[in-house]
């Protein structure tokens, strides 16, 4: 061999020997002809008997496809496979941890293969670490708004709590924010519009907090805003100079969030309820702190919304009581502990005669296994909050219609001519509610005009969706009554805008009708306006003959109250009606 060739060959062998990667030259059948020390070190764990004579036999348990890949490769030369990952189990070759090899196979010519083997363990670990970080970020990020989510904000709250415990200083606040009546957007305009509005709310929160952090933050704390539910957001403000400093931030947030949202041609306006947990009330863990802020938000919402409430420990006691009611109410529905009583509504005639068969109002009660009869004042609001009002409303309507039909059979001409049932906002939000009412009436055999659905003033004056539902109920033939008139948001001037047939004058006016000229004037004005609009009137809460005489003289069409009867179970109502006689005043 010429000296130059010998030198080149020696150089090649030195390269192969020192190369930091494994190099293996073999025949197309895998018979190894040349391999360097690195390839020996990497492949030896796969050849426990130390037999490194054939590449395919060495790898047949971890890469059995190699032989067929070479056989199927028709080109004279080229890459057969690149960076094939081969995992080695822990313990292979005495290595206590799992290892990953990367193998590339190159066809040199018609008879030779070159295999490159590298240790890819660190590379795989880096890839896995990056993937873990991405997954962790995804687990801590809200997909719609790209804000931190509940997991992330709980971590932040816990960090603040731990830091404050260690430093024994620094005020902070947790704000729990809920959009009042946001569901109306999805119901009226669709989820896509709702999602766009939520994204805008998120950006307003971020922008407001960035502005605060640039201009008014103390210490090294960081404000964070997160989305923790459908229309629920949480803000954590750290390192306040004083606890009272939070109120400026709260008001700024409420002002910014309440500004109109332009989505296409729509201009949507919302109010927000906010609960505030200050550091002084934050004993416990992050989950407890978030719950307390949520409890305060719920108090703000129950007070009418569009405001904030600061957490107090008495709120938590009330929340616990409501939780007990919720649990018991779910049992009450499934165990049939709810029942109805009926309070008569009598006709008031100018002659002094009383029509005892004018109608009845159905009122739900709860026969609690240990407390006895529970008033709806204790559980209806809870039922509305936790989504059980629909089931209760269906029970009341169905039972009232069935009893109404029974009274017709039992009493004939003495039977009530109408039955009134209270209607809640949550029921009207059910897309199929009108169809459900129509179905109950048809199944029971009750004429639609005999059913009076009682609604509050605030509900009657709600948005277009509610107005449409009320119009559809009237188209079925159902009568609508405005309950507790005088205590809500309506005025006599706007009474003509409400789609009702009857106005029920609240007991707070009737109870003082015989002693207060002012209240008599209000009742008389209500009666005159209602009659001018073709509406009937009912005076609620009549307890004395004097009150009855006043409302009759003022022109009220009907009366209701303890003077005539307390609410009665259906069988007792039958006995009451059988014993009632038309009386002269």
Per-residue confidence (pLDDT) for residue 346, from 0 to 100: 96
Q: With bands split at pLDDT 50, 70 and 90, how would you rate the model's confidence at 466?
A: confident
Average per-residue pLDDT for the chain? 85
Which three-class secondary structure state does DSSP give residue 343? strand
Per-residue confidence (pLDDT) for residue 501, from 0 to 100: 93
Q: With bands split at pLDDT 50, 70 and 90, how would you rate the model's confidence at 96?
A: low
Per-residue confidence (pLDDT) for residue 11, from 0 to 100: 64
How far lies 412's CA from each of 353, 428, 445, 446, 570, in Å? Answer: 20, 33, 15, 14, 15
Per-residue confidence (pLDDT) for residue 275, from 0 to 100: 93
Please report which residue ranges of 239-285 form alpha helices under DSSP H.
246-258
Beta strand residue intervals within 67-170, DSSP E: 78-88, 99-107, 112-119
**Arithmetic mean of pLDDT, 541-569:** 95
State the angle between helix axes of 464-476 and 433-444 in degrees (0 to 180), rounded to the nearest 10: 20
Between 213 and 319, whose confidence is greater? 319
Long-range contacts of 532-537 (CB under 8 A, 24+ apart): 533/495, 533/496, 535/495, 535/500, 535/501, 535/502, 535/503, 536/501, 536/502, 536/503, 537/502, 537/503, 537/504, 537/505
Q: What is the pLDDT of residues 368-377, one digit of tens each?
A: 888 888 888 8
Min mean pLDDT across 198-207, 381-390, 411-420 is at 381-390
Per-residue confidence (pLDDT) for residue 583, from 0 to 100: 44
Q: With bands split at pLDDT 50, 70 and 90, how would you rate the model's confidence at 281?
A: confident
Q: What is the pLDDT of residues 215-247, one digit of tens each?
A: 444 444 568 899 998 899 999 988 776 767 888
Number of C-beta neighbours around residue 101 at 10 A = 22
Q: HSE, CB side, 13 Å, CA atoms: give it for residue 210.
A: 6
How far lies 142's CA from each of 134, 163, 269, 347, 365, in Å? Answer: 13, 26, 24, 59, 43
d(CA 565, CA 107): 102
pLDDT over 70 for what percent of the chain? 88
Q: Where in the chain is the domain with CATH 3.20.20.450?
A: 323-577
**Strands 112-119, 99-107: pairing kind:** antiparallel
Q: Which CATH architecture has domain 3-123?
A: 2-Layer Sandwich (3.30)
Answer yes or no: is pLDDT of 13 > 80.
no
Per-residue confidence (pLDDT) for residue 234, from 0 to 100: 94
Between 241 and 51, whose confidence is greater? 51
**Arithmetic mean of pLDDT, 26-44:** 89
Answer yes or no: is pLDDT of 582 > 60.
no
**φ/ψ (deg, to 5) at 10:** -65, -40
d(CA 522, CA 509): 8
Q: What is the pLDDT of residues 105-153, one digit of tens each?
A: 999 998 999 999 998 888 888 877 777 676 666 678 888 988 899 998 9
The first and second tokens of residue 217, run together, are 């933050």
Asked whether the whole model's pTM tops 0.85, one would answer no
CB of 509 closer than 8 Å to CB of 503: no
**Strands 171-179, 112-119: pairing kind:** unpaired
Per-residue confidence (pLDDT) for residue 541, from 0 to 100: 94
Min mean pLDDT across 62-76, 336-350, 462-476 is at 462-476
Surface-to-core class of residue 256, CB atoms within 10 Å of its CB (0-12 exposed, 13-18 middle, 19+ buried): middle
CB of 259 closer than 8 Å to CB of 273: no
Q: Cα-atom radius of gyration of the chain, to the nearest Å?
A: 39
**Arithmetic mean of pLDDT, 196-209:** 90
Per-residue confidence (pLDDT) for residue 46, from 0 to 100: 84
Full DSSP string of 100-117 = EEEEEEEE-SSSEEEEEE
Min mean pLDDT across 74-88, 235-249, 303-317 is at 235-249
Q: Where in the chain is the domain with CATH 3.30.70.270?
A: 143-311
How far lies 409's CA from each of 403, 404, 406, 413, 576, in Å? Answer: 10, 9, 5, 10, 16
Per-residue confidence (pLDDT) for residue 566, from 0 to 100: 95
Per-residue confidence (pLDDT) for residue 484, from 0 to 100: 78
Full DSSP string of 523-543 = HHHHHHHHHHTT-EEEE----
Q: What is the pLDDT of residues 500-524, one digit of tens each?
A: 899 999 999 999 999 999 999 999 9
Q: Where in the chain is the domain with CATH 3.30.450.20?
A: 3-123
Q: Which residues pair with 176 in a beta bridge?
A: 234, 275
Q: Which CATH architecture has domain 143-311?
A: 2-Layer Sandwich (3.30)
Between 239 and 361, whose confidence is greater? 361
How far lies 483's CA from each of 360, 385, 393, 459, 460, in Å? Answer: 14, 21, 17, 10, 10
Element (H, E) at 437: helix 433-444
Q: Which residue has the tokens 């309820």?
A: 273
Min mean pLDDT across 12-16, 273-277, 476-480 is at 12-16
Per-residue confidence (pLDDT) for residue 163, from 0 to 100: 77
d(CA 476, CA 451): 11
Per-residue confidence (pLDDT) for residue 214, from 0 to 100: 54
Between 89 and 264, whose confidence is greater? 264
**Strands 261-263, 272-278: pairing kind:** unpaired
**Arithmetic mean of pLDDT, 321-347:** 90
Per-residue confidence (pLDDT) for residue 92, from 0 to 100: 59
Closest by CA position to 221, among listed 172, 282, 176, 177 = 172
Closest by CA position to 573, among listed 357, 295, 323, 371 = 357
d(CA 552, CA 548): 6
Which three-class secondary structure state does DSSP give residue 80? strand
Q: Which residue has the tokens 């941890």?
A: 97
Per-residue confidence (pLDDT) for residue 390, from 0 to 100: 86
Q: Which residues pair with 362 in a beta bridge?
A: 342
Domain 323-577: assigned CATH number: 3.20.20.450
Measured between its terminal Cα atoms, the distance across the chain in Å is 139
d(CA 387, CA 556): 37
Q: What is the pLDDT of residues 144-199, one digit of tens each?
A: 988 899 998 998 888 888 877 654 555 789 999 999 888 878 877 888 999 999 99
CB of 241 closer than 8 Å to CB of 247: no
Q: With bands split at pLDDT 50, 70 and 90, how would you rate the model's confidence at 536?
A: very high
């Amino acid at each position: 061999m010429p000296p130059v060739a010998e030198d080149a060959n020696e150089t090649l062998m030195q390269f192969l020997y020192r190369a930091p990667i494994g190099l293996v030259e073999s025949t197309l059948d895998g018979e190894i002809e040349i391999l360097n020390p690195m390839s020996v070190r990497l492949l030896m764990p796969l050849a426990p008997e130390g037999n490194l004579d054939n590449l395919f036999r060495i790898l047949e348990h971890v890469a059995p496809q190699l032989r067929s890949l070479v056989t199927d490769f028709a080109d004279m030369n080229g890459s057969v496979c690149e960076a094939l990952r081969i995992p080695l189990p822990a313990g292979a070759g005495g290595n206590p941890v799992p290892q990953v090899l990367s193998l590339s196979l190159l066809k040199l010519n018609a008879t030779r293969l070159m295999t490159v083997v590298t240790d890819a363990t660190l590379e795989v670990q880096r890839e896995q670490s990056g993937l873990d970080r991405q997954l962790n970020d995804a687990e801590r990020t809200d997909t719609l708004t790209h804000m931190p989510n509940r997991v992330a904000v709980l971590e932040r709250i816990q960090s603040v709590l731990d830091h404050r415990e260690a430093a024994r200083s620094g005020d902070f606040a947790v704000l729990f924010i809920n959009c009042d009546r946001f569901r109306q957007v999805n119901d009226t305009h669709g989820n896509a519009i709702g999602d766009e509005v939520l994204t805008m709310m998120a950006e307003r929160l971020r922008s407001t907090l960035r502005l605060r952090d640039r201009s008014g933050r103390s210490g090294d704390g960081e404000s964070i805003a997160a989305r923790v539910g459908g229309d629920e957001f949480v803000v954590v403000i750290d390192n306040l100079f004083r606890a009272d400093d939070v109120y400026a931030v709260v008001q700024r947030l409420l002002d910014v969030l309440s500004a109109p949202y332009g989505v296409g041609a729509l201009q949507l306006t919302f109010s927000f309820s906010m609960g505030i947990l200050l550091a002084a009330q934050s004993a416990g863990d992050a989950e407890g702190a978030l719950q307390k802020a949520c409890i305060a938000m719920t108090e703000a919402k129950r007070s009418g919304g569009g405001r904030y409430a600061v957490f107090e420990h008495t709120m938590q006691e009330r929340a616990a009581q409501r939780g007990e009611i919720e649990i018991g109410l779910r049992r009450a529905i499934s165990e049939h502990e709810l029942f109805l009583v009926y309070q008569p509504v009598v006709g008031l005639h100018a002659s002094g005669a009383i029509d005892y068969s004018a109608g009845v109002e159905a009122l739900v009660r709860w026969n609690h296994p240990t407390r006895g009869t529970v008033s709806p004042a204790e559980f209806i609001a809870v039922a509305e909050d936790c989504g059980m009002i629909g089931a209760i409303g269906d029970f009341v309507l169905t039972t009232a219609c069935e009893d109404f039909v029974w009274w017709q059979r039992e009493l004939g001409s003495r039977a009530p001519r109408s039955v009134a049932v209270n209607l809640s906002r949550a029921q009207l939000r059910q897309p199929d509610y009108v169809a459900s009412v129509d179905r109950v009436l048809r199944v029971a055999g009750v004429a639609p005009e005999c059913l009076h659905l009682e609604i509050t003033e605030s509900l009657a004056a709600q948005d277009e969706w509610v107005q449409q539902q009320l119009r559809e109920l009237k188209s079925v033939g159902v009568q609508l009554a405005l309950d507790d008139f005088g205590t809500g948001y309506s005025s006599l001037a706007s009474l003509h805008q409400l789609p009702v047939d009857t106005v029920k004058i609240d007991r707070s006016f009737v109870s003082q009708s015989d002693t207060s000229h002012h209240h008599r004037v209000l009742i008389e004005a209500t009666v005159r306006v209602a009659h001018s609009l073709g509406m009937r009137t009912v005076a609620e809460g009549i307890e004395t003959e004097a009150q009855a005489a006043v409302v009759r003289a003022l022109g009220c069409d009907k009366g209701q109250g303890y003077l005539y009867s307390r609410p009665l179970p259906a069988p007792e109502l039958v006995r009451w009606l059988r014993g009632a006689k038309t009386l002269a005043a």
